[in-house]
């Protein structure tokens, strides 16, 4: 089983208590709980990173479970206030996790805001593949036993779709790009998208993908370095000239050139 990339006691305690909260409410309907994201790919920083979890169930999450789970999570974050608004937990039935489907409506507890239902898109389908390859087990069987592998051609097609989505999103008139922290996040996400395309579904940490992209596109290495620095500092509003929107858009064209072919 992959190890969690942190020794931070508060992070580990929060994760343990989230698992216990789900077991208390869901009982034997809970098949497993898993970690993906930076806690397994690397670069996890307890000051700025999220905790990304997946709960696998025997069937769909009942709407009657929302209030008990919300109350349980409120208790966890009251004991660990730095994680309030920074835990994401997706709920998915085993049958939906095992095989590819792009239109499943998936309940997610997101950033302390309660439950929302998200239609699964290409980003989650790649998260599913990441979970199969390197997810860490907190409870239940290993994720590779629960998830059928995607054929290589399907992975390549999904990565291309994600690259096109990000290229078009960055090119649009998008309000979040008004925030310096989000521009930094966008640059690093573009790096990871390009890396994943070049390595056919392999997911790297933000730092590793940024280093790869800076080497691949040396003219953009200063932008990538600034994005890493700002992201690690927590982001937030900032002047456009630190990471200009126009540079984010030009960088997306350069770094995703091969991915969108």
The number of domains in the chain is 2
Question: Is 123 inside any structural domain?
Answer: yes
Asked if 106 and 224 sit in the same domain, the reply is no
Question: Is 213 inside any structural domain?
Answer: yes
Domain limit, last residue, from 145, 164, 189 = 145
Query: pLDDT tens string for the chain (261 positions)?
Result: 567 989 999 999 999 999 999 999 999 999 999 999 889 988 898 988 899 999 999 999 999 999 999 999 999 999 999 999 999 999 999 998 988 676 778 888 887 667 888 877 777 777 888 899 889 999 999 999 999 988 888 888 888 888 898 899 999 878 888 888 889 989 999 998 899 889 887 888 889 999 999 999 999 999 999 999 998 887 666 666 789 999 999 999 999 998 887
| Domain CATH for 13 | 3.30.460.10
Asked if 38 and 83 sit in the same domain, the reply is yes
CA distance 57 to 248: 39
Question: Is 3 inside any structural domain?
Answer: no
Asked if 95 and 167 sit in the same domain, the reply is no
CA distance 139 to 91: 14
Q: Which residues make Cβ contacts (< 8 Å) with residue 71, sequence separation at least 6? A: none
Domain limit, last residue, from 145, 177, 207 = 145
Asked if 179 and 60 sit in the same domain, the reply is no
Question: Is 30 inside any structural domain?
Answer: yes
Question: Is 260 inside any structural domain?
Answer: no
Asked if 29 and 134 sit in the same domain, the reply is yes
Asked if 113 and 185 sit in the same domain, the reply is no
Domain limit, last residue, from 145, 163, 181 = 145
Asked if 140 and 25 sit in the same domain, the reply is yes
Asked if 102 and 126 sit in the same domain, the reply is yes
CA distance 41 to 248: 24
Asked if 136 and 192 sit in the same domain, the reply is no
Question: Is 17 inside any structural domain?
Answer: yes
Asked if 132 and 174 sit in the same domain, the reply is no
CB 158 within 8 A of CB 127: no
CA distance 46 to 24: 26
Asked if 139 and 156 sit in the same domain, the reply is no
Asked if 13 and 104 sit in the same domain, the reply is yes
H, E, C per residue of the chain: CCCCCCCCHHHHHHHHHHHHHHHHHHHHHEEEEEEECHHHHCCCCCCCCCEEEEEEECCCCCHHHHHHHHHHHHHHHHHCHHHCCCEEEEEEEHHHHHCCCCCCEEEEEECCCCEEEEECCHHHHHHHHHHHHHCEEEECCCHHHCCCCCCHHHHHHHHHHHHHHHHHHHHCCCHHHHCHHHHHHHHHHHHHHHHHHHCCCCCCCHHHHHHHHHHHCHHHHHHHHHHHHHHHCCCCCCCCCCCCHHHHHHHHHHHCCCCCC
The pTM score is 0.87
Question: Is 261 inside any structural domain?
Answer: no
Range of the structural domain that residue 121 is part of: 9-145
Question: Is 4 inside any structural domain?
Answer: no
């Amino acid at each position: 089983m992959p190890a969690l990339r942190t020794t931070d006691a508060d992070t580990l305690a929060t994760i343990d208590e989230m698992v216990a909260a789900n077991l208390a409410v869901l009982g034997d309907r809970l098949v497993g709980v898993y970690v993906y994201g930076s806690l397994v790919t690397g670069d996890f920083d307890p000051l700025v990173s999220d905790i990304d979890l997946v709960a696998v169930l025997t069937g769909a999450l009942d709407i009657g479970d929302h209030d008990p789970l919300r109350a349980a999570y409120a208790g966890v974050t009251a004991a660990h206030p730095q994680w309030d608004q920074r835990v994401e937990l997706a709920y998915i039935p085993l049958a939906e996790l095992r095989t590819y489907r792009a239109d499943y409506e998936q309940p997610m507890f997101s950033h302390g805001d309660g439950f929302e239902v998200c239609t699964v898109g290409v980003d989650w389908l790649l998260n599913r593949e990441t979970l199969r390859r390197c997810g860490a087990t907190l409870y239940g069987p290993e994720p590779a036993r629960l998830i059928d592998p995607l054929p290589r051609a399907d992975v390549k097609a999904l990565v291309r779709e994600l690259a096109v989505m990000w290229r078009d999103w960055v090119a649009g008139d998008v309000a979040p790009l008004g925030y310096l922290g989000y521009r930094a996040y966008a640059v690093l996400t573009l790096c990871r998208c390009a890396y994943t395309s070049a390595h056919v579904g392999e997911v790297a940490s933000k730092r590793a993908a940024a280093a790869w992209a800076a080497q691949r596109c040396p003219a953009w290495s200063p932008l990538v370095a600034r994005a890493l620095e700002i992201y690690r500092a927590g982001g937030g509003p900032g002047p456009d000239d630190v990471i200009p929107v126009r540079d984010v858009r030009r960088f997306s064209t350069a770094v995703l050139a091969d991915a969108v072919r």
